[in-house]
Amino acid sequence: MEEPRPQPRLYRQLNEYCRSDAYPFHMPGHKRRTDAYFTADFPNPYSIDITEIDGFDNLHHAEGILRESMDWAASVYGAGRTCYLINGSTCGVQAAICAAVPRGGTILMARNSHMSAYRAAALAGLNIRYVYPLMLDDFGLQGGLLPQDVEKMLISPADSPRDGIAGGSTDGVSDWKPSAVFITSPTYDGVVSDVRGIAEVCHRHGVPLIVDEAHGAHFPFGEMFPVSALALGADIVIHSLHKTLPAFTQTALLHVRESALPGFADLERLEYALRVFQTSSPSYVLMAGIERCIEYMAGEGRREMERFAQRLAGLREDLRRMRLLRLLDRDSVGCAGVYDLDESKIVVSTRGAGNLSGAELAEILRRDYHLEMEMCGADYVTAITTLADSEEGLARLGAALSEIDERLTNAAENRATNRPNAMFAPRVALPIHEAQSRPLCPVPMEEAAGRISGEAIYLYPPGTPVVVPGEILTQEIVDTICAYRELRLPVQGLRDRTAATVRVLM
């Protein structure tokens, strides 16, 4: 007889963990508050979990209660159309790209886009041209995108390896002329680009602008936060409600700008693409959660955002006093394409504290203070704060970071060290979809320089690639991946989970 498998323990472990004093500086934005106004009157999920029964409409062909709900949501946002997403921003990004660019066409994409955008491009067989963010060198973080860099790519054929089109092809207008521009603003770290300037450039050249504002769902509800891309001329905007607002994981929105219809956005294609990328059994619990979140944010939540901004200002003031650890702050606005900064992201650099990596700082915060960060890079950590964060929670973060900084300052040896946080512009040998269909073989990572990668390699989070399939691995890229591996950062995308080997084209 086979040995019985061990009992499943996910929900037990979750229950235990969520009752502990571990404090979440990560998504979802409701921060597991069951005592808060926004959750107090929400029914037990089991009691409202239905399917498309009479009177409750169908998300994929909404014409009743869901249509009314989404039209109401659009009026809250000032959008022409708002669609509820229950497969996260991921499905919104994928639908927007597939609807805006014909199969086999070309897209101009910010290189620091989330992997969901790359996967959509691969699925639709697109050629990708890239526009690169500047780098905030002091922090080793990505800065913003410049409108003039977007414009350059819209008026010139592909002519450099940075461009993205395989071989830098200049044959045929249709090869290089993008049908849409896709950018991410804010970044995972809260960096906002000049979206208005980029939208003007796009419209001057007759192409729609899609903005992945997954991390900026709170922007429309607080004057102390950056202006949402929706108000700045972007044609399609995607929001992850669950990242920064009190909403269930997986809930998100796709908005279409009023005046983008029909010129810059084709609703029929979008709705078809959403049918492709969303489950055919959308959860009524999640959809009710979306509606509840927007209703709250349009009323009491807006006032809570003001109180949250005050709590946040207090935390940031404390963190500005750190001596070796350094807070990403508004003094970076105006540098490296940083047009604005979402101050709800607490990004702390360890660059001044030589021997401390981002992963080590996150570990100290977890182990000694029971504070869980959203992510860590080679030499920084990022905490997500939202209106659901209590005064006490923010104070715990402030006190922990200040104490660690004090200890580091008193320690004898502290040299500033720059660890790899690079943004590469690898030469493209083949589009992603072509590389993915070629035979691959594994080679040791250390010997992979000069080969064409058959795999995407990225840290998750943030999920922006170091390389994608079809790109040539350079020595610098290989060294960076090896360094990430040594720092025990979450290197993903490879079949070999240890990152000891990478599959390359044979």
* Residue 214 is a binding residue for ligand PLP (CB under 6 A): yes
Among 116, 142, 453, 501, binds ligand PLP (CB under 6 A): 116
State the minimum distance, in angstroms, from the CB of residue 214 to ligand PLP.
4
Which stretch, 82-90, 94-102, 175-183, 469-477, contacts ligand PLP (CB under 6 A)? Answer: 82-90
Of 92 and 398, nearer to ligand PLP (C-beta) is 92
Q: How far apart are CA 32 and CA 389, in angstroms?
A: 10
Of 287 and 408, nearer to ligand PLP (C-beta) is 287
Q: How far apart are CA 419 and CA 351, in angstroms?
A: 8
Q: How far apart are CA 195 and CA 181, in angstroms?
A: 12
Provide the total of helices (H) and of strands (E) in the chain, helices listed first: 16, 22
Among 141, 199, 252, 270, binds ligand PLP (CB under 6 A): 252
Q: How far apart are CA 234 and CA 226, in angstroms?
A: 14
Which stretch, 158-166, 209-217, 374-382, 446-454, contacts ligand PLP (CB under 6 A)? Answer: 209-217
Of 110 and 270, nearer to ligand PLP (C-beta) is 110
State the minimum distance, in angstroms, from the CB of residue 161 to ligand PLP.
25
Among 240, 244, 385, 386, binds ligand PLP (CB under 6 A): 240
Cα angle 195, 118, 471 (rounded to 5 degrees) comes to: 115
Which are the contacts of 416, defined by CB distance < 8 A and separation ≥ 6? Answer: 351, 352, 354
State the minimum distance, in angstroms, from the CB of residue 473 to ligand PLP.
24
Site string for ligand PLP, 446-475 (x = CB under 6 A): ---------------xxx------------
State the minimum distance, in angstroms, from the CB of residue 89 to ligand PLP.
3
- Kindly report the three-state secondary structure assignment for every residue of 54-70: CCCCCHHHCCCHHHHHH
* Residue 350 is a binding residue for ligand PLP (CB under 6 A): no
User: DSSP readout, 196-265?
Assistant: HHHHHHHHHTT--EEEE-GGGTTGGG-TTSPPPGGGGT-SEEEEEHHHHSS--TT-EEEEE-GGGTTTT-
* Residue 89 is a binding residue for ligand PLP (CB under 6 A): yes
State the minimum distance, in angstroms, from the CB of residue 259 to ligand PLP.
25
Sites for ligand PLP among residues 297-326 (CB under 6 A): none
State the minimum distance, in angstroms, from the CB of residue 253 to ligand PLP.
10
Q: How far apart are CA 255 and CA 252, in angstroms?
A: 10
* Residue 114 is a binding residue for ligand PLP (CB under 6 A): yes
State the minimum distance, in angstroms, from the CB of residue 258 to ligand PLP.
23
Of 90 and 193, nearer to ligand PLP (C-beta) is 90
Q: How far apart are CA 468 and CA 118, in angstroms?
A: 8
In the chain, the amino acid numbered 195 is V
Of 252 and 348, nearer to ligand PLP (C-beta) is 252
State the minimum distance, in angstroms, from the CB of residue 97 to ligand PLP.
12
Among 42, 188, 219, 369, binds ligand PLP (CB under 6 A): 188
Would you state the structure tokens that stand for residue 194, as one six-digit string? 């000049």
Which stretch, 208-216, 258-266, 270-278, 413-421, contacts ligand PLP (CB under 6 A)? Answer: 208-216
Which are the contacts of 173, defined by CB distance < 8 A and separation ≥ 6? Answer: 157
State the minimum distance, in angstroms, from the CB of residue 241 to ligand PLP.
8
CA-to-CA dists, residue 134 to 117, 120, 143, angstroms: 20, 25, 5
State the minimum distance, in angstroms, from the CB of residue 88 to ligand PLP.
2
* Residue 212 is a binding residue for ligand PLP (CB under 6 A): yes
Which are the contacts of 142, defined by CB distance < 8 A and separation ≥ 6? Answer: 112, 133, 134, 135, 136, 187, 189, 191, 423, 464
H or E element in which residue 267 lies: helix 267-277
CB 79 within 8 A of CB 260: no
State the minimum distance, in angstroms, from the CB of residue 463 to ligand PLP.
6
What size, in residues, is the chain?
A: 506
CB 460 within 8 A of CB 186: no
Minimal CB distance residue for ligand PLP: 88
Binding site for ligand PLP (CB under 6 A): 88-90, 93, 114, 116, 184, 188, 212, 214-215, 240, 252, 461-463
